Amino acid sequence: MDKFQEATTENETLDPPDWTDMGVLSHRILDDAISYLKDVRDRPVWREMPAEVRSFFSAPLPRSPAPLADVYDDVARNVMPYPMGNIHPRFWSWYMGSSNFTGALGDFLAAIQGSNLGGGNHAAGLMDSQVVNWCKEMVGFPAAASGTLVSGGSMANIIGLTVARNVKAGVDVRERGVGAIPKPLRYYASDQVHSCHRKAMEVLGLGNRALRRIPTDAGLRIDIAALKRAIAEDREAGFKPACVIGTAGTVNTGAVDDLQALATVAAEQDLWFHVDGCIGALIAIAPENRSLVAGIEQGDSIALDPHKWLHAPFEAGCALVRDASAHRNTFAVTPEYLESTPRGLASGEWLHDYGLQTSRGFRALKIWMALKEHGLEKFGRLIDQNIAQARYLTRLIEAERALELMAPTTINIVSFRHRLGDASEEHLKTFNTEIMLRLQEEGIAVLSDTTVGGQHCLRVAIANHRTRRDDLDLLVSEMLRLGREIEAPSMPG
């Protein structure tokens, strides 16, 4: 009998028919995975998928079985060679970490154990709380604060902004809804604030207009005097100023708001102080640069992102809230089917009382294992290393006539562009976009672009534990080569 038909109907299971065979295949997959990471530097950062690979993803829903070895071959052929590229040493696009092998083992073991982190008395629940406690310690939060691991920074910000709304609303928003809030709430952030805050304001029912974007200074940090004026204006006009969001590392240029000044304004004005530390909160563990985020420990809530500078495999975000009861009061609901018991599995804490998810994955293990293996100090040094690399790239750009720095480099993000005679802004954008695309298409490096102060620029965000200085030397020389190649055809003679 065919081995795929031998299970009888009533005893069917997803377990393999033969664990020994499964072991052999699994070892092969593991060996391939190790080579994949070991050789990452030798592959292009990114490559376009050929049409036949693209069409692989339109295959119909599989109704009958296939041997797992064939399934894996499909993955090895069509999926693994076409990654986003963020594990590559020359990936510096948008903002994300570069993952790590130990974290991948953690994800594997978490899936093998299969625990649900909604709550309960089991090791995964305790480890989840332990990692949250470690995150508090990293940013200087008190042990009595609370927190939760979430999918990423966007969710972590939503958690903080929701607690802020409920605390400042002046009514029981959970019971009565936002329509019952007596004076419309206002939140404040710099005009560089990440787009997830807009979404948060929308889903919180406060609306995008309730988030006032405050102008920034020459360093693209929130203008404190303008913030104070906006708060006074709003009070005058009958709004209730409720929350100020400080950004520790903006996504455009890495600017760090003056967190101590914001903490003072928040205290004077009775505002909730939320810190979006998705990029920069963890600078608090970096010995050379930690003073840049001084004041973060005064936040009422902080969003941080272990899948950025702790390089946890996606996904892992963390929301921290200083006032644990305000946090719990925002989300706790105990339905009759989730009552706790005095002993046994249901005697543990219900971790779903601290966020929006009921079931949650065991995100803590991948973070825990990598932290244990390397120790916190090494993660701190890696953050300093990336910041030093960004400063090195900044010096290369400043020394090169063909390149132009477009914003000050504060942390690990460099905004710059290739010059082009006295070309218009529009022409410069086309030219620099072409350089960026050819860098990708030739598999050399992946950068992204943005607009700062109305001017288009390229962006290198180095949150990458594999980047070396010679990668940045290569970037500059390849940009100059591409600049010449793109420019040449349009130049007469």
Task: For residue 94, give the nearest of 316, 411, 413 by alpha carbon.
Answer: 413
Nearer of residues 281 and 285 to ligand PLP, judged by Cβ? 281
Q: Which is nearer to ligand PLP, 85 or 153 (CB)?
A: 153
Q: Which is nearer to ligand PLP, 95 or 273 (CB)?
A: 95
Query: Which residue number is nearest to ligand PLP in terms of Cβ?
Result: 153
Contacts of 183 (CB under 8 A, 6+ apart): 170, 238, 239, 240
Nearer to ligand PLP, 85 or 119 (CB): 85
What is the secondary structure of 276-288 as a DSSP string?
Answer: EETTTGGGGG-TT
Q: Output the smallest distance, CB 286 to ligand PLP, in A.
A: 17
Closest CB to ligand PLP among residues 181, 256: 256
Least distance from ligand PLP to the Cβ atom of residue 317, Å: 5
Query: What residues line the site for ligand PLP (CB under 6 A)?
Result: 95, 152-154, 157, 194, 196, 247, 251, 276, 278-279, 305, 317
The amino acid sitting at 21 is D
Q: How far apart are CA 235 and CA 247, in angstroms?
A: 23
Residue corresponding to tokens 């040094």: 381
Full DSSP string of 114-137:
---TT--SSHHHHHHHHHHHHHHH
Least distance between ligand PLP and beta carbon 277 (Å) = 8
Of the pair 131, 479, the CB lying nearest ligand PLP is at 131
Q: What stretch of H or E contains 203?
A: helix 196-203
The sign of the dihedral angle between the CA atoms of 269, 273, 279, 280 is positive
- Least distance (Å) from ligand PLP to the CB of residue 462? 14
CB of residue 279 to ligand PLP, shortest distance in Å: 4
The smaller minimum CB distance to ligand PLP, of residues 308 and 418, is found at 308
- In the bound complex, what is the minimum distance in angstroms from residue 308's beta carbon to ligand PLP? 6
Taking phi over 0 as left and psi of -120 to 50 as alpha, with beta for the rest, 222 belongs to beta
Instruction: State the nearest-atom distance from the C-beta of 364 to ligand PLP, in Å.
Output: 16
Alpha helix positions (H), 420-462:
425-441
E runs forming strands in 222-352: 240-247, 272-277, 301-304, 317-321
